[in-house]
Amino acid sequence: KMHALPEDIRRRIENHPCYSEEAHHHFARMHVAVAPACNIQCHYCNRKYDCANESRPGVVSELLTPEQAVKKTLVVAAAIPQLSVLGIAGPGDPLANPERTFATFRLLAEKAPDIKLCVSTNGLALPQYVEELARHNIDHVTITINCIDPDVGAQIYPWIFWRNKRVRGRAAAEILIEQQQKGLEMLVAKGVLVKVNSVMIPGVNDEHLKEVSKVVKAKGAFLHNVMPLIAAAEHGTFYGLMGQRSPTPEELKALQDACEGEMNMMRHCRQCRADAVGLLGEDRGAEFTMDKVEAME
Ligand code: CLF
Ligand code: SF4
């Protein structure tokens, strides 16, 4: 359930399938996988797969150039009239690939000005790109925030790549947390709608996420999306999380309920792939691979 929203905000989310529970029945989103590199390592990410920021481990997405991404978007927009949002969510971190990400947004704003632009990031590089995001009219940003305590963070992130150096352990988590919180504040100050995604990792950050929810709400995040860790042996090594289990659906719901005080909780997330296409939960990505797109043009 959504807490009462001012009219202008309602209008800004009414056709965004993730920001509005109601909209997800009627509007579609697509992701273009233009961002291969990442600037951090999450224990739960196996880099062969899509970004677990927003997506579940699965088949590797087909990497697109900005030009291919635009071509694909135009073809999908013609085939799926409910398409309202174009998101960049991986397979790495969009802001660790700023040329490719912003070139895509720039071309799209030109060729498909009616499509809303959305981006999801781990937040490390966020403060330095807030201006540019605002300049590109990106009205919706998701930050994956799994902790605000570096001791918790040290169990989730083995390292980050920061100012041309690899930083490890607690010091790495400290920098990442600081950048995420700063980025959140800067976006809110610009009037951008910020959603926070958190991956619930039993025994690591599950209890802690209640505190995270309060803090990001106080800083002006619009929506909190607590997603379950997807731990499955067939997806390969989980680095420091070897043997880590996923939460049960009951545990997930209990945590979402506990967070839902003043905060709007997203309950309809489908943990999309970095190349998802269609209504949430109806992934039509396979219909729009680049070879098919080229043939349809
Ligand atoms: Fe994509 Fe993410 Fe934008 Fe939505 S997905 S970049 S906010 S347009 Fe949505 Fe998918 Fe959940 Fe993400 S259901 S994984 S919350
Ligand atoms: Fe993987 Fe995303 Fe974490 Fe980067 S931010 S390591 S791509 S889950």
Q: Give the domain CATH number at 138.
A: 3.20.20.70
CA-closest residue to ligand 2 atom 1: 45
260-282: pLDDT as tens digits: 977 899 999 988 877 888 898 88
Q: Is residue 15 part of a domain?
A: yes
Token reading at 173:
């988590």
Give dist(CA 239, CA 230) in Å, integer: 14
Give dist(CA 69, CA 105) in Å, integer: 10
Place of tokens 């930083």: 167
Residue 107: what residue type?
Answer: L
Residue 17: pLDDT over 80 = yes
Supply the pTM of this predicted model.
0.93
Q: Is residue 180 part of a domain?
A: yes
Give dist(CA 256, CA 165) in Å, integer: 37
Report whether the peptide linkage leading into residue 91 is cis, meaning its omega lies within 30 degrees of zero: yes
What is the arithmetic mean of pLDDT over 79-91?
92
CA-closest residue to ligand 2 atom 5: 122
Ligand 1 pocket test target in 73, 82, 120 with most atoms within 8 Å of CB = 120
Q: Which domain holds residue 250?
A: 7-285
Q: Is residue 292 part of a domain?
A: no
In 3D, which of 188, 185, 194 has the Cα closest to residue 121?
A: 194
215-252: pLDDT as tens digits: 999 999 999 999 998 876 544 445 555 678 889 999 99
Contact 77, 83 (CB under 8 A): yes
Residue 156: pLDDT over 80 = yes
Number of domains in the chain: 1
Ligand 1 pocket test target in 13, 142, 223 with most atoms within 8 Å of CB = 142
Q: Is residue 291 part of a domain?
A: no
Residue 59: pLDDT over 80 = no
Q: Which pLDDT score, from 0 to 100, does residue 165 have?
A: 96
In 3D, which of 25, 3, 7 has the Cα closest to residue 84?
A: 25
Percent of the chain with pLDDT over 70: 90
